[in-house]
Amino acid sequence: MNRFGSRIQFGLGGGLTPVVKKLIIANFAIYILEFLTMKMGDIPPLMKYFALRPDQVTHHLAFWQLGTYLFLHSQTSIFHILFNMFTLWMFGGEVERVLGSKKFLRFYLMCGVGAGMFYILFNWNSPVFVIGASGAIFGVLVAFAVFFPERVITLLLFFVLPVHLKAKHLVAIFIAISLFSSIQGHLFGVSGGVAHLAHLGGALIGYLLLRGDSVFAKFLREIRFRQEKKKFMQKQREQDDIRQKRAEIDRILDRINEVGFDKISNKEKDFLKKASEFLSREE
């Protein structure tokens, strides 16, 4: 099957991959635990200690929340976890097959943590809880678009009208929606309770993890080139200086042969002494 041109299959071809399967199970298991403990106090314990709350991370160093919030989902709407896990099921398996299970898990978690950090960057002192795997899911979507840009995906618009989009166009639309919603939320205070900045952060981290190596390598090559060029120019200046000194020494020596050492100027004598000492050190 041509991975770049074929349509996506809802059965995922070879079934659930190991890490995707475990992530889905873990998310639903924790969702059930959330349900069982949701009436324990004004703020459920899982939400209180493990949801991402920016002011707790920045002021109380609750850094573990950057990882734990990924496995919590809204209890007010089951569609939150269903949509995230459905998207992970649809696209995660293909990405895991390309990256391998260990790299995929690391990629997924890094996208989620990065999404949380990106959100905190713009909401430094916010007391509002952030939950959900959406940041990591957006990273997975970007990875799918990078690996299978021409793959055609069929969506049912309004659950009736089939729409065919290439993966790169679908992910671009998702990112554009999150970007627009994020701007709308910051300008007009309308966000619908969705942390769109986390979505954008996950997408950005995902892209950098996959394509950042080449960009970083190019940056390092440019730095090395500039350093080598600087060293080369410095060496050239040193060699030019040595040639000039040797030429001046030769001129003074020729003058000594003509008029004798006592007849040359004190300036020439001083130069001859210093230049000789300099050249002896270079050798």
Q: Which pLDDT value is given to residue 3?
A: 40
What's the whole-model pTM score? 0.68
Task: State mean pLDDT over 105-112.
Answer: 95
> Between these two residues, 262 and 125, which has the higher pLDDT value?
125
CA separation (Å) from 192 to 37, 115, 181, 257? Answer: 25, 18, 9, 94
Task: State mean pLDDT over 97-116.
Answer: 94
> Using one digit for the tens of pLDDT, what is the confidence trace for 140-156?
999 999 999 888 887 76
Q: Which pLDDT value is given to residue 65?
A: 95
Tokens 């635990």, residue? 33
Cβ neighbours for 197, distance < 8 A, ≥ 6 positions apart: 118, 119, 122, 123, 182
Please report the domains of the chain, with CATH numbers, ordered by start residue: 18-213 (1.20.1540.10), 221-282 (no CATH)
Q: Is the per-residue pLDDT at 123 higher than 60?
A: yes
Q: Which pLDDT value is given to residue 256?
A: 82
Do β-strands 161-166 and 152-157 pair in parallel, antiparallel, or remain unpaired?
antiparallel
For 153, phi and psi rounded to 5 degrees?
-115, 135
Q: Is the per-residue pLDDT at 173 higher than 70?
A: yes
The fraction of the chain above a pLDDT of 70, given in percent, is 83
Query: In whole angstroms, what is the distance from residue 51 CA to residue 65 CA?
Result: 6
Task: State mean pLDDT over 167-185.
Answer: 79
> Using one digit for the tens of pLDDT, what is the confidence trace for 229-265?
888 888 888 888 888 878 888 888 887 888 887 778 8
Total residues belonging to the chain:
283
Please state, as a whole number, how many other Cβ atoms lie within 10 Å of the Cβ of residue 69.
Answer: 28
Query: In whole angstroms, what is the distance from residue 79 CA to residue 95 CA?
Result: 23
Determine the residue type at 4. Answer: F
Q: Which two tokens stand for residue 265?
A: 């100027």
Q: Is the per-residue pLDDT at 158 higher than 80?
A: no
Least confident range from 31-35, 91-95, 231-235: namely 231-235
Q: Which pLDDT value is given to residue 145?
A: 93
Q: Which pLDDT value is given to residue 43?
A: 87
Contact of 140 with 108, CB cutoff 8 Å: yes
